[in-house]
Amino acid sequence: MQYFAPHPALPTPGTPSQRPWPEPARAWSVTMAWEDLVFLHWRVDAQALAAHIPPGLELETFDGSAWLAVVPFRMARTRFRWMPPVPTTHAFPELNVRTYVRAQTRGGAVRPGVWFFSLDAVSRLAVEGARVTFGLPYFAARMRCASRDGRTTYASERVDRRGPAARFEASWRVAGEHARAVPGTLEHWLVERYCLYALRRGRLVCGEVAHKPWEVAPVDLRIEACEMTRLVDCETRGAPASALAARAVEVAAWSPVAV
């Protein structure tokens, strides 16, 4: 069974992928593309960050450090299964702040995943829908993303009163060849994640995604402002320890289920 006809590039069941466990047997809920994406990662104190992780999740570390990421990108071609694209929700800039965790699933397996501290988006309809459907901490923001002469410029300013004021402004240009991250490296540990954890109505849930392995490249990066980590009382001072631009990927996502 293919996910859906318009995106044959997505993996199908039985196709080799980077996912460390099989795709869910149930039908996917949402499809989308992630474009103009850059992973910006800073080392942070694990003990300080662990205080912001809910019970049931364990903070993951690499080289003795926890890692905090700011990830700006553009959502494109977003739609729910059996539905046409909805105006204002199918293409828009988005920016998330995240770290890496693991949890034991109902089947007993321990699965590494992503914990989001915030997700800012320009589409208010998408913000409210994702809060209700996925239990994710989305916030409305004024945002712009544009590319010219190979350089991507990105700016975001939160306007949602449910979170503290936060601004991000940066630009980047790919400065090398794209390639798949090598298993065992920091880059692979950071980017190859195929599930997220969230609190939905006070209950820990897990949502899964499927896409081709990331192809990433170094970037020439300029950060003018980064105030996105105020929710965790953690300042991202200096240049990120890892900055990687990614090729666009087509994604299938499943609705979250209880852990």
Question: Residue 127 phi/psi, 5° resolution?
Answer: -60, -50
Query: Is 23 within a domain?
Result: no
Distance, CA of 46 to CA of 88 (rounded, Å): 38
What secondary structure letter does DSSP report for 106?
Answer: T
State residue 88's pLDDT score.
Answer: 57
Residue 13 in any domain: the answer is: no
Residue 17 in any domain: the answer is no
Residue 53 belongs to a domain: yes
DSSP string, 161-190: TTS---EEEEEEEE-S--EEPPTTSHHHHH
155 lies in some domain = yes
In a domain, 3, yes or no: no
Q: For residue range 114-163, what is the model confidence (pLDDT) as tens digits?
A: 999 999 999 888 898 889 888 899 999 999 999 999 999 999 999 999 99
9 assigned to some structural domain = no
The angle at the Cα of 61, spanning 179 to 227, to the nearest 5 degrees, equals 80
The tens digit of pLDDT for each residue in 187-241 reads 999 999 999 999 998 899 999 999 999 999 999 999 999 999 988 887 777 899 9
CA distance 176 to 61: 27
Helix (H) or strand (E) run with residue 125 in it: helix 124-134
CA nearest to 228, candidates 58, 99, 53, 55: 99
Q: What is the mean pLDDT of the chain?
A: 88
For the chain, the first-to-last Cα distance in angstroms comes to: 26
- Lookup: tokens for 244: 């990687």
Residue 129: give its domain's CATH number.
2.40.400.10
- Tokens linked to 130: 């994702």
CA distances from 13 to 6, 22, 26, 228 (A): 17, 8, 12, 37
Tokens for 226?
A: 């980064």
Residue 216: both structure tokens together: 């990433």
Please work out, in degrees rounded to the nearest 5, the angle formed at the alpha carbon of residue 36 by the alpha carbons of 139 and 229: 40
Q: Is 118 helix (H, G, I), strand (E, B) or coil?
A: strand
Instruction: Residue 146: give the domain boundaries.
Output: 30-258
CA distance 101 to 119: 17
What's the length of the chain? 259
What is the number of structural domains in the chain? 1
Model confidence pTM above 0.85:
yes
65 DSSP assignment: B
pLDDT at 4 over 80: no
Statement: residue 6 has pLDDT above 60: no
Residue 145 CB: number of other CB atoms within 10 A?
19
Confirm whether 194 is domain-assigned. yes
More confident: 83 or 94:
94
